[in-house]
Amino acid sequence: MKKREPNLENRREFIAGSLVVGAGLAASLAGCERKDQGPAPTGSGAEPSTKHAGMSPHIEPGQLDHYYGFWSGGHSGEIRILGVPSMRELKRIPVFNRDSATGWAQTDYSKKMLKGRTSGDTHHVHLSYTDGTYDGRYIFVNDKAQGRLARVDIESMETDAIVDIPHSQGTHGIFPQRHKTGLVLCNAEFRSPMPNDGRDLDDPKKYAALHTAIDGETMEVKWQVMVEGNMDLCATDYKGLYSFATSYNFEGATSAEGMMANERDALYVFNLENIAKAVAEGKTTTIGDSKVPVLDARGDDGPYVMRIPIPKNPHGVNVDPTGKYAIASGKLSATCSVIEIDKLKDAFEGKIKPRDCVVAEPEVGLGPLHTAFDGKGNAYTSIFLDSVVTKWNIEKAIQAHNAKGEKPDPIIQKIDVHYQIGHINASMSETKEADGKWLVALCKFSKDRFLNVGPLHPENDQLIDISGEKMVIVHDGPTYPEPHDAVVVKKDLIHPEKMQNRKLPRFKMYEEWAKEDGVDLFKDNKIVRNGKDVRVYMTSLAPNFGLKEVRVKKGDTVQFVVTNQDKVEDLCHGLCVSQHDVNFLVNPQDTQSETFVADKAGVYWYYCPWFCHALHLEMRGRLIVEA
């Protein structure tokens, strides 16, 4: 057999080749630093190729991207909007974080929603569905840090609801139902005592986790199901029958070492119809002071929850665009498990065993995490330890699983990414309209990829063209840590307003105040005093505020209610009060408010912080605080 020469431009083949050549040579090459400053070799997939003949990520000045990309912001607590394929960041939506530019977490309504908390950890961002595709209404995102779910109104791109999830720690995987804007299912990753009120502190056998259903329309918590394992990622089918949760730590351990003992953990399958029936029939309990009905499904498989054994410590679970298969990844395995969804009914009825629902388990690489789809029968799995994306064919994997003789190879291609990829998603991948155009790889490390900016390196988002037979990386770029997940959506499904949408819940609050005080928000400039409470109604129209002077007493609680009268698209105003920690945005035709205590006597200028006019610097007034 002819000896195969390693391709030195490919990282994996270079490592394999070095083992043949000799450990000494491998060590010497690995220790070499590049002395030149020129471009690295292309063609391996680790570098964008300038010779790529497929789709281009370049968007000419003045031209629009073809897709919206919605990225979770990780520890920043926000959602980010990117244009795809340009990968240009277009906007940041504050959700669980304080944002000085907009005043989020400082304005009255956002304070009310956040209940005084100004940090979060957004992990998974998903859009609302109708009939298996995005309906352009809502964005849902979790807060892993404090057990919350938020909803963003897509017309305004503003957070319009936040709900606390009872007794849920480490709320991680979430997913909306896909047949309609129905339930949003949420997984608690951390097992804890139920209730967590000081009892059972040192008895992990009594710990549990909750799978929670929240109504996507009302944002009410409808029910919870208690299970014994740590739950990770979440998914739903296309018919509204099931929700899924990868689960690890069936050992019931409290340390990483103990959580890796078993060879298999499980994929939880929740039977939503059976659960809803049990809740309606009152077969539930409650936990602590929460009124939410809880179904205790710990232990044996029953009509509510099925446990499908899959390789150890599974992480991601994704449903393909046909709705036939759920793909679960064994994080500490080299395999993905393909579950045939139509078999679940027979398994719930006891006609087959849960493990019989697994119809394939291809070896895709070391540390598989998440899987995306191209709508052509192919899956793309992120491989953390190997730092690659593996493209494989689902039907060939099933054929290989069942073959008794020669087995077809389901693996089509592996491409190097840079480095330690986490989440992955393709254009429209999580809908029945997956189009197989673009794939985004969210890589956790970028250590030698960009200019050094200090110990906290950026992460690296890579864009991969999957429109042809072979994957080709065409763009990468730094991103501020830590985007955790992303979805890529056709632009014609998203229709934000260009002027402020006054249908949001917060406008009811302003209208009630105005009615109470006899004020027209768009016309009147008026100071309303009630003892030491002072409400200031003020309009803004470039380059002037409706009030040039506001006079209060030291110790007064002052509330500015500002309405932007401008009808010019993109002409924003705001209000910043010097030395009082007041700074918020007011979009065209918007009203916003913020409340503070005037605790220092003196003259304090308030001004518009958003450049709005040639006389922008003159747009100001005096807050006079009398001793």
Matching CATH topology for 67-493 and 506-626? no
The full set of domain ranges for the chain reads 67-493, 506-626
- Rounded Cα distance between 375 and 436, Å, is 6
Residue environment code for 269-299, b if the CB has 16+ CB neighbours within 10 A, otherwise e:
bbbbebbeebbeeeebeebeeeebbbbbbee
Give the pLDDT of residue 51. Answer: 57
Beta bridge partners of 544: 541
What predicted TM-score, i.e. pTM, was given to this entire model?
0.91
Count of Cβ atoms closer than 10 Å to residue 20 Cβ? 12
Tokens coding 170: 């480490």
Nearest to residue 561, comparing CAs of 582, 542, 579, 535? Answer: 535
Nearest to residue 245, comparing CAs of 174, 184, 298, 342? Answer: 174
Please list the rounded mean pLDDT of every run of 10 residues in the chain (627 residues). 39 39 32 34 41 83 97 96 97 97 97 96 97 98 97 97 96 97 96 93 92 98 96 97 93 82 89 97 96 93 94 95 97 95 97 98 96 98 97 98 91 96 97 98 93 94 97 95 94 96 93 97 97 98 98 98 96 97 97 98 98 95 97
Q: What is the Cβ-side half-sphere exposure of residue 294, based on CA atoms within 13 angstroms? A: 22
| CATH among 2.60.40.420, 3.40.50.970, 1.10.1040.10, 3.40.50.920 for 506-626 | 2.60.40.420
CATH 1.20.1440.230 fits 67-493, yes or no: no
Q: In what order do the strands lie in the sheet with 67-72?
A: 88-94, 78-84, 67-72, 486-490
Instruction: Say if strands 472-479 and 486-490 run parallel, antiparallel, or are unpaired.
Output: unpaired
| Rounded to 5°, angle at Cα 384 from 306 and 263 | 40
Judge contact between 370 and 318, C-beta under 8 A: yes
Q: Going along 191-275, which residue ranges are E strands?
A: 192-193, 207-215, 221-227, 230-236, 242-248, 264-271
